Amino acid sequence: GQQLNQSPQSMFIQEGEDVSMNCTSSSIFNTWLWYKQDPGEGPVLLIALYKAGELTSNGRLTAQFGITRKDSFLNISASIPSDVGIYFCAGRRSNFGNEKLTFGTGTRLTIIP
């Protein structure tokens, strides 16, 4: 099945560093979502983006909806231990009720002591 291209695949950083990851698609999406998944749990929504060019923050997290509608970016500032996990982007072609989510391949974030 289709997956969005997400990079990097994994990141090893020290506490306090900033993190950037991105997600690209060959086709247009009208909604971009960013999720975090902890081991043994389902994805939890971090940020939702609904308009091309939109920049939205949620605490230390900032995400942007690319103007081409084919990409999105997530930044985490001043990382802390609880940021460890797998981050997924997800795109949706419309906001119609039956529209599915297409997920990215994930970015695994590890904080080195």
- Which chain residues interact with other proteins by CB under 8 A? 1, 3, 33, 35, 40-45, 48, 88, 90, 92, 95-106
Contact 34, 87 (CB under 8 A): yes
**Closer residue to other proteins, CB minimum distance, 15 or 99:** 99
What is the nearest approach in angstroms of other proteins to the Cβ of residue 15? 27
Given the complex with other proteins, which of 26 and 98 has the nearer CB atom?
A: 98
Q: Which amino acid is located at 18 in the chain? A: D
CB nearer to other proteins: give 7 or 77: 7
Residue recorded with tokens 């920049």: 55
Dihedral angle, C-alpha 78, 76, 60, 92, nearest 10 °: -170
